[in-house]
Amino acid sequence: MKKSKKEVFVLCFLAILFLIALSSQMVFAYFFDVSHNCQEDNCIEGQEINWTFSFQNAGNNELKIVSVEIFNPINQSVISGVYFDYDVADSSKNDYFSVIPGTKKNLIISDYVPKQNSVNKLVYAPCITTILDPTVAKYLDDRYYETKCYENKTIDIFECVYNRHCKDNEVCTLRKCVKIECEDCQYILNKECVDYDCCSTEDCGKGESCISHKCTKLNCSYDEMVVNNTCVKLDCSYDEYAFEHECIKLECEDDEGMFNHTCIKLECEDDEHIFEHECIKLDCSYDEKPFNHTCIKLECEEWESPLNHECVEIECGFLKKRQDNGCILDTDFILKLLLEIAIVIIIIILFLIDIKMRREKRIKRLF
């Protein structure tokens, strides 16, 4: 049966694609192997690890690798990798790992041992991205890169094998780091619980205090004293001072006062005097006044009188006069006044008698 031209064209196109795919396999035929080398015989989480990719180019063209990754298929994340700065559209970015035909070459990735993703194991897949030949890429929708992840591999990984693989506060138990749990007042030393020298001042002797879990001799300052193994500030009275952890009485001079635990020169007012290291108000009598810190007698004039520690002018009442700094009856004035009153009374009486006699004379004339 004769085939149509369309069917012939489709068959030819498929044949061309097959030949291109076959030729690409021949052009880019390469083999690789991946191995690892840990810091110790066992791979311990967090220690250094070197991943070695050994490439053998069995093809006809140069093998160009732009990235190699250690892929975690469990959580779909990249564990480690190396990347080259290559961009087919940017001529300035032309960096890649090259393996020429007929040669072998190693690519090493240095990193740290990751955490296990299975029981004491790391499951990983090596993923390699290569640059395709432009002729092949043209028939693959201009896809110039090819990334291929190979079958999963496993390596043994342990959290620890010995205690030294764990933190200072952990020990290795069944290849797992387990935190050390100490009692109160204990600390970890060489992976063991050790008692502190002290955890409170009560654990120490007299004159000592527990500082940073060590009994330390107290070094109190001169104005402190030891109370219950603690330095306590001395509470000295105003007339005492601190000396060698004690309160000592001040020994001030007679003209000195006691202030803020020291002796100071007193400067009393004129109406004050010094008594027991204090300025005390003078208690002068009414006829005395304070002067130069003592009481002196007032020297008043005859017409003055002492009042509230000063001389004041005497204000005497009627019929009194000032004499000997006081008021007395003015007898001379009183006698003179009485005499004048008597004369006035006599004159009034004579006047009244005269009036009476005149009336009597008038009456006689009428009758």
Eight-class DSSP state of 158 = B
For 1, 23, 26, 138, 147, the CA distances from 19, given in Å and listed in that order, are 27, 6, 10, 14, 22
Please give the Cα distance from 351 to 367 (Å, whole number): 25
Q: Which helix (H) or strand (E) holds 10?
A: helix 5-27
Round the average pLDDT of the chain to a whole number and report it. 82
pTM higher than 0.85: no
pLDDT at 25: 44
pLDDT at 232 over 50: yes
* Greatest Cα-to-Cα distance within the chain, rounded to the nearest angstrom: 212
Q: Which of 12-16, 22-26, 191-195, 302-306 has the lowest mean pLDDT?
A: 22-26
**DSSP H or E segment with residue 127:** strand 121-131
- Annotate 66-92 with DSSP letters as a single string: EEEEEEETTTTEEEEEEE--B-TT-TT
Cβ count within 10 A of residue 175: 15
H or E element that contains 19 = helix 5-27
Main-chain phi, psi angles of 339, to 5 degrees = -65, -45
**238 contacts: CB under 8 Å, gap ≥ 6:** 258, 259, 260, 261
Q: pLDDT tens across 297-356, in order?
A: 877 776 677 777 777 777 776 676 666 666 777 677 778 878 888 898 999 998 888 888
Lowest mean pLDDT among 21-30, 79-88, 275-284: 21-30
Higher pLDDT, 207 or 102: 102
Nearest Cα to 152, choosing from 115, 123, 114? 123
Q: CA-CA distance, 323 to 164, in Å (whole number)?
A: 117
Task: Judge whether residue 121 has pLDDT over 90.
Answer: yes
State the pLDDT at residue 297. 81
What is the tens place of the pLDDT at every residue in 181-215?
Answer: 999 999 999 999 999 999 988 888 887 888 889 98
Domains and CATH numbers, the chain: 5-156 (2.60.40.1470), 165-220 (no CATH), 234-265 (no CATH)
d(CA 275, CA 339): 62
The whole-number pLDDT of residue 230 equals: 77
pLDDT tens-digit profile of 60-84?
A: 889 999 999 999 999 999 999 999 9
Tokens of 94: 């032309």
182 or 5: which leads in pLDDT: 182
Say whether 13 sits in a helix, a strand or coil.
helix
Q: What is the structure's pLDDT at 63?
A: 92
C-alpha to C-alpha distance for 71 and 125, rounded to whole angstroms: 5
More confidently predicted of 332 and 221 = 221
pLDDT for residue 295: 84
pLDDT at 8: 55
Per-residue pLDDT at 6: 59
Residue 24 pLDDT grade (very low, low, confident, very high; cuts 50, 70, 90): very low
Spatial contact of 247 and 236, defined as CB atoms under 8 Å apart: yes
pLDDT digits (tens, 9 = 90+) for 237-274: 878 888 877 888 877 877 777 777 788 887 788 778 77
Are 212 and 201 in contact by the 8 Å Cβ rule? The answer is: no
DSSP 114: P
Whether the per-residue pLDDT at 4 is higher than 50: the answer is yes
- In this structure, of 45-54, 91-100, 109-118, 285-294, the range with the lowest mean pLDDT score is 285-294
